[in-house]
Structure 1
Amino acid sequence: MTNDTSSKPMYEKIFEEVKQRIATKQYETGERIPSEKELADEYGVSRITSKKALEMLAGEKLIVRKPGRGSFVADPEVDFADSAANPDRGAGQPARSFGKPELVTIGLIMTDFGNSYGTGLVYGMEDASRERDCYLVLRRSFGIAENEEQSIQKLLQLGVGGLIVFPAQGEYFNSEILKLVIRKFPLVLVDRHLKGVAATSISTDNVTAAKQATEYLFGLGHSHIAFVSPPPADTTAVEERIEGFIRAHAERGIVVNKELWASDLTSTLPDCFRKENIDRDIEGLIDHLKSKPAITAVFATEYNLALLAKTAAERIGLRIPEDLSIVCFDSPATQWGGGYAFTHMRQDEERMGRLAVERILQIREGVSVPNRTMLTAELVIGESTGPVKA
């Protein structure tokens, strides 16, 4: 390592320190070194800076950058240029003729996405795909199983090397997903899993998250809590949040009163988002709150349902949070002054998206991956909760 790097650009400092790690065998031949993002995080710099450092290492033939995989310590006995042109050849294997690196394209099928949930997923996937030199092709299904099925068929015809699917809400999964599983095609499901289908999935630990949010309401003195959701309809994310809600009650010895629930709201489903449906759900919630005056808090399974509950409450003169507390899953950032800051369970969308891309690439490489990965959600205290009124 150089004696004084304080006056040098950060990319040179990163270059020299990684070079030193290679020289001292901290990184062995053929070993993967930190990615652009990992180096950027380690040194507190931008991705542009860390990328320039890696380009310098590659320029000195210290590392081999393999599209879709990462950067690896080069084997000095193997032709460097050939290694870069043939990313599937491991360090130490015989040199092969020159050729273009394989371009990996990943298909992404989502119901829809917005500022409350879904955009972070796309950001995470895009970030990971850019880092790993692969590409995303996005199609939206709007929660309609037929659209999802056709999108899978079209993307396969385009020759994608893997598929990430946010399954359409419904009581069944389409046959195209089952075909992919049987073929062992690189497939990752996000946000939910499909029961009885051995497909790799990445989602939030919904049971634990719902339990934590419910316990937070208990801590504020609330025991008459309305559970607000769309029909579960065999959608695992909703089912798991119901389970976490019930578990929290059981552990506190509080009786679950399902008469307080409103679990038939449909206006927030991807194919039902119309004004007449929204108005109908708001009126339904108004009637529900009027007929169940014991309710002091609402647990909404998603942000848009929390908005409906807030609107319904305010129309009948209830104040948030003085008269009614509301918790939900996810809530858009309000740093620019827009939106309403609900107390919510924040899902790690970007990590979920990054992991989905990583899993696809690992499956393509023959690496064994977990069948199901569940990420922790974070409780974020907002403006919508307060202690129960005496």
Structure 2
Amino acid sequence: MSETTSSKPMYEKIFDELKQRIVTKDYQLGERVPSEKELADAYSVSRITSKKALEMLAAEQLIIRKPGRGSFVADPVIDYLESGANVAAGSEGYASNAINHDEKTIGLIITDFGNSYGTGLIYGMEQAARDNDCFLVLRRTFGNPDNEEQSIQKLLNLGVDGLIVFPAQGEYFSAEILKLVIGKFPLVLVDRHLKGVAAASISTDNMQAALKGTEYLFDLGHKHISFLSPPPVDTTAVEDRIEGFIQAHAQRGIVVDKGLWVSDLTSTLPNSFNEENIERDISRLVSHLKNNPAITALFAIEYNIALLAKTAVERVGLRIPEDISIICFDSPPTHLGGGYSFTHMQQNEEEMGRIAVENVLSIMGGHTVPNKVMLEARLIPGESTGSAKL
């Protein structure tokens, strides 16, 4: 199998072909489907692309991704519920049935989710919902602000009692969120907070996490570290990670060299995901590494950017971690599809999801909750970091 000349993105092509094989029973109920690595090799695409295809299959409840085992054709009645993702979802991630008003209902609006980040949030929310006898209704926005506003409106029209929102990119200020805050509707924001908006939020302590990860690299002898990110666009999670990276340098008395940074990577952003953009970002990183041979470590702001960085390092002919180390935020379990074990900062997603549900229920009950809750991230050593070359 190889790259198609069709205008359809490769991840959609892979998704369509796998979906067809599942629907026609070529893959039987409970049978394992190819892993990210196997699909990437078979279609001659990046792991990011094959990962996206599997995530789309999981989102449509066609497969279930089981930690430590792989991805399997799902029983829509049994497997999906047992996965911990028991939320009402139609073809667009939207409730397909009328809400049962005999139980509390919480609307969940999230950009997207996958095995590197997001699925754990939903697991935590679903379990907390079960424990509190309430129901979750999910809608994805794919980072589109218009989708976010429409989702809020539609869920309110359905009659949800509260909302949990993972906001779209921070440069867009949702008028619908502001209306919810002004109207004192039960609302909790997840993963980030919006400046100037007095809404309850739950997120990782991104500044401390980035600081801890940077200090880890310093302890390995790295001083010339390239920080890799998309444009910050006023997204608090990105801004806080940048601030943590800078503070770590200040505390060690090491000068921050922003000339080593790459902060214009866009292929992992919503609506920018395609092979052309991925290749452009990889080429950008290849040129950056060639032009800055002093770099001994890369701090990728997210897992997908770490995958781009790994590909770029290998193309330059350097070894990981002997020549260059890589650290990132989040990483799926390595036993899922033979994934690479990146050293990473692991966010406590399930706890974040649990607290989000409990806080929105508390607000429904007329109780006050903290305006901002931040959870600690753990550093998980992997095979992508080592001592700096002397």
* Alignment of 1:104 onto 2:104: yes
Which residue of structure 1 lines up, in the alignment, with residue 212 of structure 2? Answer: 212
- Which residue identity is paired with 1:218? F
Q: Go from structure 1 to structure 2 and tell me whether the alpha carbon gap of 1:176 and 1:279 turns closer, same or farther (over 3 Å shift).
A: same
- Distance in 2 (alpha carbons) for counterparts of 1:268 and 1:233: 14
* Alignment of 1:329 onto 2:329: yes
> Equivalences for 1:119-134 in 2 at 5 Å?
119-134=119-134
> Equivalences for 1:174-323 in 2 at 5 Å?
174-323=174-323
Q: 1:275 deviation in Å?
A: 1.1
Could you list the per-position Cα deviations for residues 37-56 of structure 1 after superposition, in whole angstroms to 9, with x for gaps in the alignment? Answer: xxxxxxxxxxxxxxxxxxxx
Q: Identity across aligned pairs (percent)?
A: 73
Could you list the per-position Cα deviations for residues 170-194 of structure 1 after superposition, in whole angstroms to 9, with x for gaps in the alignment? Answer: 4122100000000000000000000
- Distance in 2 (alpha carbons) for counterparts of 1:336 and 1:323: 27
- Distance in 1 (alpha carbons) for counterparts of 2:336 and 2:186: 39
Does the 8 A contact of 1:167 with 1:173 survive in 2? no
Q: 1:132 deviation in Å?
A: 0.9
Which residue of structure 2 lines up, in the alignment, with residue 94 of structure 1? Answer: none
Aligned residue for 2:192, secondary structure, equals coil
Could you list the per-position Cα deviations for residues 227-259 of structure 1 after superposition, in whole angstroms to 9, with x for gaps in the alignment? Answer: 000000000000000000000000000000000
- Distance in 2 (alpha carbons) for counterparts of 1:380 and 1:170: 28
Could you list the per-position Cα deviations for residues 76-118 of structure 1 after superposition, in whole angstroms to 9, with x for gaps in the alignment? Answer: xxxxxxxxxxxxxxxxxxxxxxxx9941111001110101000
- Distance in 1 (alpha carbons) for counterparts of 2:376 and 2:357: 19
- Which residue identity is paired with 1:355? I
Return the index of the structure with the highest Cα Rg: 1
- Distance in 1 (alpha carbons) for counterparts of 2:217 and 2:188: 34
Q: 1:273 deviation in Å?
A: 1.2
Runs of 4+, deviation exceeding 6 Å = none
Aligned residue for 2:271, secondary structure, equals coil
Which residue of structure 2 lines up, in the alignment, with residue 137 of structure 1? Answer: 137
Aligned residue for 1:177, secondary structure, equals helix
- Which residue identity is paired with 1:276? E
- Which residue identity is paired with 1:361? L
Does the 8 A contact of 2:170 with 2:194 survive in 1? no
Q: Larger RCO: Structure 1 or Structure 2 (Cα < 8 Å, ≥ 6 residues apart)?
A: 2
Q: 1:274 deviation in Å?
A: 1.1
- Distance in 1 (alpha carbons) for counterparts of 2:122 and 2:275: 27
- Which residue identity is paired with 2:289? L
- Distance in 2 (alpha carbons) for counterparts of 1:341 and 1:307: 11
- Distance in 1 (alpha carbons) for counterparts of 2:278 and 2:203: 27
> Equivalences for 1:71-110 in 2 at 5 Å?
102-110=102-110
> Normalised by the size of structure 2, how large is the TM-score?
0.74
Does the 8 A contact of 2:327 with 2:342 survive in 1? yes
* Residues matched between the structures, number: 291
Q: Go from structure 1 to structure 2 and tell me whether the alpha carbon gap of 1:143 and 1:101 turns closer, same or farther (over 3 Å shift).
A: closer
> Equivalences for 1:33-48 in 2 at 5 Å?
none
Which residue of structure 1 lines up, in the alignment, with residue 149 of structure 2? Answer: 149
Q: 1:334 deviation in Å?
A: 1.5
Q: 1:336 deviation in Å?
A: 4.4
Q: 1:138 deviation in Å?
A: 0.5
- Distance in 2 (alpha carbons) for counterparts of 1:115 and 1:371: 29
Q: 1:204 deviation in Å?
A: 0.2
Q: 1:272 deviation in Å?
A: 1.1
Which residue of structure 2 lines up, in the alignment, with residue 18 of structure 1? Answer: none
Aligned residue for 1:356, secondary structure, equals helix
Q: CA RMSD in A?
A: 1.1
- Which residue identity is paired with 2:297? A
Aligned residue for 1:242, secondary structure, equals helix
Aligned residue for 2:242, secondary structure, equals helix
Does the 8 A contact of 2:213 with 2:327 survive in 1? yes
> Equivalences for 1:46-57 in 2 at 5 Å?
none
- Which residue identity is paired with 1:171? E
> Normalised by the size of structure 1, how large is the TM-score?
0.74
Aligned residue for 2:333, secondary structure, equals coil
Structure 2, gaps ≥5 residues long:
1-99
Which residue of structure 2 lines up, in the alignment, with residue 355 of structure 1? Answer: 355
- Which residue identity is paired with 2:222? H
Aligned residue for 1:285, secondary structure, equals helix
Which residue of structure 1 lines up, in the alignment, with residue 73 of structure 2? Answer: none
Q: 1:211 deviation in Å?
A: 0.2
- Which residue identity is paired with 1:219? D
